[in-house]
């Protein structure tokens, strides 16, 4: 009995996922450790720089928990989107096999990055809890919905830049450049409510602000997340996904033959 298209894609993604693990970590025994060290280093540096100030301005909120729920979502977005852009070049030889499609490589890479950073998030949250910091997951469904939309958004952005980058290779260099200012305007190091309200209308165009603030609201009782919206995040994500899939549909054959 012939397999359905979904079953073929599922098997393909599983094989690509295992290949990504071997490629990413097979030659480097410390590869898994680096996945933990990078966000941990950011956390320690920011704690050292802003810890005292934030303790005085937000005495009722755990600053390590506050930072983790800004850093990890940003790392998920950055890692998935950047690795999606280079998915075709990294797997070029596999496209000689008919079942393997460019979008399958993005899905496989996104799954690996998601598993890595979810594990890192859980581990670091447990560490800060054992260190005496308080948090409570008050809205688990909101946290899951927010991160699910974040993952889809990250894949969509990566897909758009991957497709456009095949026609205009210089566009692949644009995404890392854009990610640098995003780090500073996504409320990672400061809460939205610390910014004067007249500037909110500019910041709230950024979907990562919604991701970060909604994540904090879900695990930090009493945290103020006025102005952000799960509906806006969902709408922005769906529009971006539609654009990405539309571009991919029109350029899929050209990407495989170029």
Specify the residue for token string 């280093």. Answer: 41
Instruction: Choose among 179, 238, 176: nearest CA to 208.
Output: 179
Q: What is the mean pLDDT of residues 62-76?
A: 91
Cβ pair 194, 183 in contact under 8 A: no
Among the listed residues 184, 185, 157, the one whose alpha carbon sits nearest the alpha carbon of residue 171: 157
Beta-carbon contacts of 63 under 8 Å, excluding residues fewer than 6 positions away, are 47, 50, 51, 54, 55
**pLDDT tens digits, residue range 187-233?**
998 899 889 999 999 999 999 999 999 999 999 988 888 899 999 99
Q: What value does the mean pLDDT of the chain take?
A: 86
User: 46: number of CA atoms within 13 Å, CB side?
Assistant: 20
Residue 144, pLDDT > 90, answer yes
How much is the average pLDDT of 21-33?
Answer: 69
Question: Which span out of 3-12, 84-93, 95-104, 149-158 was modeled with the highest average pLDDT?
Answer: 149-158
C-beta separation of 241 from 156 below 8 A: yes
- What's the DSSP call for residue 110? H
pLDDT of 1 above 60: no
Q: What separation, in Å, do the N-terminal and C-terminal C-alpha atoms of the chain show?
A: 34
Question: Which band of pLDDT confidence, cut at 50, 70 and 90, is reported for residue 55?
Answer: low
Beta strands in 94-241 (DSSP E): none
**Domain spans, the chain:** 5-257
57 falls in which pLDDT band (50, 70, 90)? low
Q: In 17-174, where do the E strands start and end?
A: none
Average pLDDT over every residue of 158-166: 90
Confidence of residue 84 (pLDDT cuts 50, 70, 90): confident
Token digits for 138?
């008050």
Locate 111 and state its tokens. Answer: 């799954």
Q: What percent of the chain has pLDDT over 70?
A: 90
Query: Over the Cα atoms of the chain, what is R_g?
Result: 19
222/232 Cα distance (integer angstroms): 22
**Is the full-model pTM beyond 0.85?**
yes
Q: What whole-number distance in Å separates Cα of residue 79 and Cα of residue 75?
A: 6
């Amino acid at each position: 009995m012939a397999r359905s298209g979904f079953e073929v894609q599922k098997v393909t993604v599983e094989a690509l996922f295992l290949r990504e693990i071997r490629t990413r970590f097979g030659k480097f025994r410390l590869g898994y450790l680096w996945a933990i060290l990078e966000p941990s280093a950011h956390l320690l540096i920011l704690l050292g720089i802003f810890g005292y100030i934030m303790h005085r301005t937000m005495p009722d909120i755990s600053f390590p928990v506050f930072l983790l729920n800004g850093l990890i979502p940003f790392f998920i977005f950055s890692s998935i989107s950047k690795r999606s852009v280079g998915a075709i070049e990294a797997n070029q030889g596999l496209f000689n096999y008919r079942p393997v499609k460019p979008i399958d490589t993005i899905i496989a890479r996104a799954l690996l990055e998601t598993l890595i950073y979810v594990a890192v998030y859980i581990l670091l949250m447990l560490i800060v809890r054992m260190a005496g910091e308080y948090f409570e997951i008050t809205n688990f469904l909101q946290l899951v919905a927010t991160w699910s939309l974040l993952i889809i958004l990250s894949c969509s952005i990566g897909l758009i830049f991957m497709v456009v980058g095949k026609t205009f290779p210089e566009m692949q260099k644009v995404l890392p450049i854009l990610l640098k200012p995003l780090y500073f305007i996504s409320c990672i190091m400061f809460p939205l409510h610390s910014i004067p309200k007249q500037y909110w209308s500019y910041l709230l165009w950024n979907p990562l602000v919604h991701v970060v603030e909604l994540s904090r609201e879900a695990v930090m009782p009493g945290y103020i997340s006025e102005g952000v919206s799960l509906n806006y995040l969902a709408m922005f994500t769906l529009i971006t996904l539609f654009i990405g899939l539309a571009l991919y549909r029109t350029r899929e054959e050209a990407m495989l033959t170029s």
